[in-house]
Amino acid sequence: MKKEARVIKLISEKRIKKRVKELAEEISRDYKGKNPVLIGVLKGSFVFFADLIRNLKIPVTCDFISIASYGKETKTSGKIKLEKDLRESLSGKDVLIIEDIVDTGLSLSYLLKYLTKKRPKSLAICALLDKPARRKLKIKIDYIGFKVPNKFVVGYGIDYNEKFRSLPYIGYVKD
């Protein structure tokens, strides 16, 4: 018999709400007087993105990008492909990437390289979750919501085979 995957709660809805507010306050302070472009990395960041922008005290514009990784995840050379490009130009703009989780760092390093070519005035990263245990490439994350253990996490927009995105909390999958 096939067992259903269970989700063990790691970070409650209340803790997420509080931390998202804190991150938004920090970003609002750092970008005071500016009008940054926030780039949500689809799909995993969409819930975080929506909550974050509603707590900001500065004007922002929003854009979205989607990337997919191919090849075995154990390989450092995991290939990454752009699935959906941006709509707006980034030239001369302050750009803040909004990511769900940084694991090996391959996706973000690809994104940083890609977005740097678009000549933004500044480029920074805000990630809801940081899973440092499996990092392969060193990445400077400017804003981090929570550090998580080396588990497969889901919820609050983050999926496991497209499941669990709608959970209001963050947990890990146990099957």
* Footprint of ligand IMP (CB under 6 A): 44, 99-108, 131, 152-153, 158
30 is catalytic: no
Residue 108 beta carbon to Mg ion: minimum distance, rounded to whole angstroms: 9
DSSP category for residue 64? E
| Cβ nearer to ligand IMP, comparing 31 with 48 | 48
123 binds, among Mg ion, ligand IMP, none (CB under 5 to 8 A by kind): none
Binds 158: which of ligand IMP, Mg ion, none (CB < 5-8 Å by kind): ligand IMP
Give me the least distance between CB of 144 and ligand IMP, in Å please: 13
C-beta of 7 vs 106, nearer to ligand IMP: 106
- Using CB under 5 A, list all residues that contact Mg ion: 41, 44, 100
Q: Which is nearer to Mg ion, 42 or 58 (CB)?
A: 42
Give the closest residue to 73 by CA, choosing from 134, 140, 17.
134
Distance in Å, CB of 19 to Mg ion, minimum = 18
Taking Cα atoms as reference points, which of 25, 32, 30, 34 lies closest to residue 52? Answer: 25
* Sheet with 122-130, edge to edge strand ranges: 79-84, 61-70, 37-42, 94-102, 122-130, 143-147
Q: Which residues contact 16 (CB under 8 A, 6 or more apart)?
A: 51, 145, 156, 168, 169, 170
Radius of gyration, CA atoms only, the chain: 16
Helix axes 46-53, 13-30, angle to 10 degrees: 60
Catalytic residue among 94, 103, 159, 175: 103
What residues are labeled active site?
103
